[in-house]
Amino acid sequence: MNNAFHTTCLSICGGALALGLSVSSVSANEWPTSDIRLVVPYAPGGTTDVLSRRVADLLQQELDANVIVENRPGAGSTVGTGRLARGGRDAQHTILMASPGHTIGAAIYADLSYDPVEDFVFLQNMIDIPNVMVVPADSPYESVIEFVEAAKEQDMTFSHSGVGSSIHMSGELFKTLTETNMTAVPFAGSGAALPALLGGDVNVSFENMPTVLSHIRSGDLRALAVTSAERSEYLPDVPTLSEVGEYNLDQFITTAWFGLIAHSSFSEEAQNVMHDALDRVMEREEFLDFAEQLGAEPGQVSGDAFKQFIVEDLERWEGVAQQAGISQ
């Protein structure tokens, strides 16, 4: 108990002091020369925010510099991302936690002020979260095939957490690939969407894994499939959509990815320091535990491979946005 007490005190008081009052210490490296800003293009409290604060916490231990989280929400993630794209004098010390909003936003907003690929350097994909195709527990559909066959006969509804979310776009992608009748029902965030699904007001959803994992385990929701390339270790009995093999679903491989990006002028040296630091962060026990609690897999790609991944993600969502008529 004494130990626990210490931890608490240290984390509250010490944390505030260390984060707040200490002047950033300059390390042996040339970079970083000042505090680093980690921009979160969403409001506080979402997955992106929670993840960013965890990463910032670990990163500042590895970098020997303060990492300050800054929320710049708005219009999907495009307001915060747009500001990063403008560069400016802070660009050498600003990084951003990008997520599917980065590519989906670019796919649905026609008059974006920046290029989602060329204006940035791509540092590290931190985690991947699969989406899960879930139906209410009393739903008559036991498998993806059954669901698709029924959806060809009658109009189905799927809930999502907002236009342009990965949940919404996954639903639209499913609708496009299987050529079924599905109506999107929007909610303000996953929290508001869940009761409609649990209560059976909508037929299906393609929710993020962490949101629905406990409901699947408790039997309130039934998982029909996961959207990642391979089965999730958290739901080993649930097939992937690409396993289904019919109705073009072999093309359905998406995850909600989260990764750090910076302005295209981000120096070579800074990139190297960041790569090293992020490699160490991703090996940390705390990070792996955190990823596990989110039901996430640690990210696989960094640098050019991450960029290539973004290019492909962008292409897919542009196609879906066009087909679903939600590009503006």
Partner 1 sequence: MENFSEVIAIFFSLDNFIAIAMGVVIGVVVGSIPGLTATMAVALALPFTFSMQPVAAILLLVGIYKGGMYGGSITAILIRTPGSPASACTLLDGYPMAQQGHAKKALKAALYSSVIADFISNIALIFFAAYLAKIALNFGAPEFFWLICFSLTIIISLASGSMIKGLMAALLGILLSLVGLDEVYGSQRFTFGNYNLMDSISFIPLLIGLFAIPEIIEFYRKKALPHIKAKASGAGLAFSELKRCLTTIVRGSLIGVIIGAIPGTGATAAAFISYSDARRRSPNKANFGKGEVEGVAAAEAGNNGVAGATMIPLLSLGIPGDVITAIILGAFMVHGLTPGPIMFQENLSLIYALFMGIMFSSIVLLLVGNVAIKYFSLIADIPKSILFPIVLMFCVYGAYAVNNDTFDVWLMLAFGVVGYIFNRAAIPAAPFLIGFILGPMFEDNLRRSLLIGHNDLSIFVRGPITWTFIALTVGSIALALYRFISARRDARNAAGKSQQE
Partner 2 sequence: MATPHSKRAVRIKDAGDVFAGIVLLCFAIVLVFYLVPNYINEPPILQNPMMSPRWLPGIVGWLIVLFSILLILQGLLLDRSSEEDERSIEKGTTRRFVLMVVALVIYVALFESMGAVFTGILATLVLFVAHPVRTWWVYSLAFVFPIAVTFIFVKVMNVPLPIAPIGF
Q: Which stretch binds partner 1 (CB under 8 A): 24-32, 159-167, 274-282, 303-311?
A: 159-167
Cβ-based neighbour number of residue 15 at 10 Å: 12
Site for partner 1 contains 27 (CB under 8 A): no
Query: Binders of partner 2 among 19-48, rule CB under 8 A?
Result: 19-21, 37
What is the smallest separation between the CB atom of 90 and partner 2, expressed in angstroms?
A: 10
Classify residue 202 by its DSSP letter: S
Minimum CB separation from partner 2 for residue 15, in Å? 11
**Residues 6 or more apart whose Cβ sits within 8 Å of residue 97:** 38, 39, 40, 41, 48, 51, 52, 55, 126, 258, 259, 260
Task: Report if residue 325 touches partner 2, rule: CB under 8 A.
Answer: yes
Cβ within 8 Å of residue 44, ≥6 positions away = 71
**Min CB(36)–partner 1 separation in Å:** 15
Site for partner 2 in 62-101 (CB under 8 A): 68-70
Which one of partner 1, partner 2, none is in contact with 37 (Cβ closer than 5 to 8 A by kind)?
partner 2
Please provide the distance, in angstroms rounded to a whole number, between the alpha carbons at the two ends of the chain: 57
Instruction: Label residue 216 left, alpha or beta by phi (over 0 means left) and psi (-120 to 50 means alpha).
Output: alpha
| Interface pick for partner 2 out of 25, 154, 218, 328 (rule CB under 8 A) | 328
Site for partner 1 in 279-298 (CB under 8 A): 286, 289-290, 292-294
Asked whether position 137 contacts partner 2 by CB under 8 A, the answer is no
DSSP one-letter code for 239 = P
Residue 9 contacts which entry, partner 2, partner 1, none (Cβ below 5-8 A, type-dependent): partner 1
Residue 25: CB atoms within 10 A of its CB come to 8
> Are the CB atoms for 50 and 81 separated by under 8 Å?
no
Sites for partner 1 among residues 193-252 (CB under 8 A): 194-196, 198-199, 201-202, 210, 213-215, 217-218, 220
DSSP one-letter code for 38: E
Residue with Cβ nearer partner 2 (40 or 148)? 40
DSSP code of residue 86: T
What Rg value do the Cα atoms of the chain yield, rounded? 21
188's contact among partner 1, partner 2, none, with CB below 5 to 8 A by partner kind, is: partner 1
Residues 55-74 that bind partner 1 (CB under 8 A): 56-57, 70-74
**Which of these ranges, 12-20, 92-100, 105-113, 131-139, lies near partner 2 under the rule CB under 8 A?**
12-20
Smallest distance, Å, CB 264 to partner 1? 20
Residue pair 98/77 in contact (Cβ under 8 Å)? The answer is yes
User: From the list 36, 66, 82, 124, which residue makes contact with partner 1 (rule: CB under 8 A)?
Assistant: 82
- Dmax over CA atoms of the chain, in Å, equals 67
Q: Annotate 189-236 with DSSP letters as a single string.
A: SHHHHHHHHHTTSSSEEEEEHHHHHHHHHHTSEEEEEE-SSS--TTST
Helix or strand or coil: residue 325?
A: coil
- CA-CA distance, 6 to 275, in Å (whole number)? 33
**Spatial contact of 231 and 239, defined as CB atoms under 8 Å apart:** yes
User: Residue 68's binding partner, choosing from partner 2, partner 1, none, with beta-carbon cut-off 5 to 8 A by kind?
Assistant: partner 2
**Which residues are at the interface with partner 1 (CB under 8 A)?**
1, 4-5, 7-12, 15-16, 43-47, 49-50, 53-54, 56-57, 70-75, 78-79, 82, 108, 111, 113, 155, 157, 162-164, 183-189, 191-192, 194-196, 198-199, 201-202, 210, 213-215, 217-218, 220, 286, 289-290, 292-294, 326, 328
